[in-house]
Structure 1
Amino acid sequence: MLNNQDGIIRSNEPILAVIQRWLDILVIGLALLLVLFWRDPPYDTHHWINLLIAMFSFYLLSDMSQLYGSWRGEHTFREHRRVAANCGAAFIVMAMVDYLWFENALLSDGDKLYWFATTLIILSGYRIVLRQIMRTLRANGYNSRTVAIVGAGPLGQRLANNIITNPWMGLDLLGFYDNQITGTVPLPGMQEPMPVKGDIQAAIEGARNGYIDKVYITLPMRSEEQIKTLLDQLSDSTASVYLIPDVFIFDLLHARSESINGLPSISIFDSPMDGANRLVKRVEDVLLSLLILSIIAIPMLLIALAVRLTSPGPALFRQKRYGMDGRPIEVWKFRSMRVMENGGTVTQATRNDTRITPLGAFLRRTSLDELPQFINVLRGEMSIVGPRPHAIAHNEEYRKLITGYMLRHKVKPGITGWAQINGWRGETETLDKMQKRIEYDLNYIRRWSLWLDLKIVVLTIFKGFINKNAY
C-alpha cells in the first residue's frame, strides 16, 4: 500500500539558487584571499584547512536552513538575517576546530574576524544587487506568472494588496473569483478596486484552459467541503495551486512553502521539476540518453530495417501524447501494428491482438519498440524516468473517471517509470488497474529525487523490459 503522505512540504529552489550555492562558496574563498593580501600574514598551507572547514560548515548549515529556497515573495531582511546566522555559525565552527585541534595556530583571531566581516559584506552585497536586478525585470513583465485569487474576503484582499503593491514579485493578478461576491472589491489603500472576474467555476475553467498559471485559494477554513471540491476540480488542470494558510488536512502533491511578501502559502499541486530540480533532471536525461543512444544506435538501425522488410508501412510511428503541463507532443516508436491509430479513438492493445505484426509482438514484449523515445528525451519532450505517456484519447477518457489523473502531467512523461517496474504496465482493461498505475505515478512525483530516478533505471534493466502484461 502506497503512503500518500510521502509528499513532504519543500521549499522552492529556482535555478538562480544553484548559482548562488557555488557563488557563496567562491565568496568565502575570495574573502580569505583578500584578507591574506591585505593583512599580509606569513603564508601557511594550513590556511586552506580553515577555508575548507568554513566552506563545508556554511554549505551544510545553508542547506539545512533552506537558504536556497525561493525568496521571490520575501522581504530582503529575512534573507540577510539567515545569511548572517549561517555565516556566523560556520565561522564559529571553524574557530572552535582551529582552537581545539590546531591550538589557534592556523590563523590569528584578528584575521578570522576580518575574514568573517569581509565574507558577510560580500554575501549580503551581491544579494542586494541580484535582488534589485530581478525586481526590475519582474516589474517590467519578465519572468512573470498569471495568477488568480479564489475568495474575495479579507484574506484574499490582503493577498491582492500584497501582489499589486509589489510588482517585483512578477505576479500578474487577473482578479478575484468568488461565488458570493460580484462586481468589484475595494482594496485597503488602493484607489482602484479589484474586479471579481467570475465565480469559482470560472477560475477552474481558466486553469483547465491554461489561462491561469497559479491559483491562490483564500476561502475560510470553515468552507472545508467547498475547498476539497475545488481541489478535486483543479486537479484536472496543470495550474499550480496554493492554499492560504493551512493545508495539512489535504493530500499534497510535491507540496512546498512559498511566501507572498511575508504572507505564507503552501502549494497543493506543484511540480518537482522546477528551478534547480529541472536543471538536474535535464542534465540527467541528456547524459543518460546520449550514453544509451551511442550503445543502441546500430541495433535501432537493424530494427528499423526489419520493420520495413516484414510489413508495409514506415519504420517509425509517431503518436500524439500529452507532455509536461498537458502540452501535446509526438512520441516516437518503432511501428508494431498494421494500423497507425492516432485520432480521437485509440483501442488499447490486448492479448492476441490481430493488429500486431509478428515482429511487432516481439518488439512490444521486449520494449524494443520504445527505443526511439530516447530521441524524444534529447529533444526535451520526454524524460528517461517519468509517468508513461498515454494516448490523448485515453487521457480524455480517464481524466473524467480518476481524481487527480492530470496531475501526472506536472512532470515530463518517461520511457520507464515507478509504475512500470512495480508491475503496472500494459493493458488496463479495468478502471482499478488504471487507478493503481496513476497511484504509483503520483507517488513517484511526491518522492522524486535523482537517486530514485537512478534506482528506477537500474531496476528497469532487470525487471522493466520484459513483462507478461506487455502485448
Structure 2
Amino acid sequence: MFVDATLVLTSGVGCAIGYHLAAGGVVGKADVYAAGSLLAAVNFILLIVVQQGYRLKTITDLTRTFRMTAATWTGLFGALLAVAFAMKVSDEFSRGTTISFYLVGLAVLLIWKAVAARWISRALRTGAFANSRAVMIAESGLPASSSTMLDLAQHGYRLMRIMEIRSSELESPRLFSTIAPRFEELIAYAREHRIEHVFLLMSWSRQHAIDTTLDALKILPIPVHLVPDANAARFLRYPLQSAGNTWTAELRRAPLSWKERTLKRIFDLAGASVALVVFAPVMLVTALLIKLTSQGPIFFRQTRNGFNGHAFKIFKFRTMRVLEDGPTIVQAQKNDPRVTGVGKWLRKTSIDELPQLFNVLRGDMSLVGPRPHAAAHNTEYEQIIGNYAFRHHVKPGITGWAQVNGYRGETKKLELMAKRVEFDLWYIDNWSVWLDVVILLRTSVLSFVQPNAY
C-alpha cells in the first residue's frame, strides 16, 4: 500500500512539474497537483483493498493483478475527471498533465506489481512469511503424500510438530483412551511453544476421530482447522455458493449470466461494427482478388454448430477450389492442392475469417469464443472427447483462447483437439470482457508472426 501510494503521488507531482517546465518553463500549481495526486492515491488503495488486491495470493497472481490495476486505475481516473467536471474545477488541471499522469502512473504501477509478484513468489517458496506457529495432527502416511504442508509453509504457517495417528487407531471407538497420553503431551507442547493454530489432516469420513480430537483439544484456546482430504479438496476448489442456509460447491457454473451475455453482446456489436469499417478496404480488395484469380463465388458458406448446438451458416472468403459442406469434410493440410494461390495467403493471415463479422452482427457468433468446427467434425469429436459438448455453452468465436495459445489450424492428432477443448473450457469458466480484449490483441499479432493455418 505504501509503495502504491508513493508511486501514485510521485507520478502525479512529477508529471505536473515536468510537463509545465517543458511547456512553459515554470513549475505551475504544484500544490494543486499534489492534492489531486494524494486524492488519487488514497482512492486507488481503498479500491484495491475492497478487491482484496493486497492479499498474498492475489499479489502473486500477475494476470489478475495486472487486470485489477489497469481496470481500477482507469475507472478511478474517469470518476475523478467526472467529479472535477461536475464541480467546475477541471480548468485547474491541464490536459497534458492529466494524460501524462494517467499513462505514467499506470506504467509505474504495472512495473511495480510485476516486481512485487516476483519477489513475493520467491519469498513464499523460501518460507519467508511462515511466522504463525502451528502443529498438525495427521493420519499416518498423509503428510508425506499431501501438498498441504508445503502450502501452509508458503502462506504464513510454520509447522513446529506433526503428530501422526495410525489408521487402525483412528478407526477404534476407544480412540481417546488409546492415545490420551499423546494428546496430553501435544497440549503441553502447544502451551510451552505458544502454538497459534492446530491443523487436522485426516479423511473427512472419520467423523468419530475428528470429534474425539476436537474434544481432546478443547482446553487449548486456539483455532483448530480441518484440512480437506483428497476427495473433498477437488470439489472445494470450485466456488462456494449459498443456497439458503446450505453451502454448496458449484461444480459447474452456468456458462454466462444474462448480465454477462448482455455485456458480451454489446462488446460484440461495437467491435464488429468498428472492425467492418476498418477492414472494409481490405475486404473489398480481397473480394476482387478472389473473383479475378479463380472461378466460383467470393464467399464460402458452411454449416457449423453454435450456442446450444444450434446450426448456422458461417461466412468465409473462399480459399479453395471446392465448396465442401456435408457429412464428409477433409481438413485443409499443408500444401493442400485444393487451396488457391490467393487462398493460401488469405488463410495464413486469417483474412479469410473477416466475413464472420457478419455472423457476429447476426448473433450466430461472437468475436471471441471456441472456434466452430464443421458439422461433420463436430459430430465425430462429440463421440470421442468427453467434454467436447461443453464448448456449445457459449457462442462460437472468430478467434479464441485455444487459438492464441497455439492450437490453430489443422488438428492431425486427437490429443491436439483434446488440448484445444481444454483451452476452450477454461475460457468459458474464466470469461471477462478484459480476457476478450487480450485475446483479440494477441490474435492481431499472432496472425502475422505465427501463421500455421493451411
Greater Rg, structure 1 or structure 2?
2
* Structure 2 length-normalised TM: 0.47
Q: Which has the higher helix share?
A: 2
Say which structure, 1 or 2, has more relative contact order (CA 8 Å, 6+ apart): 1
* Structure 1 length-normalised TM: 0.46
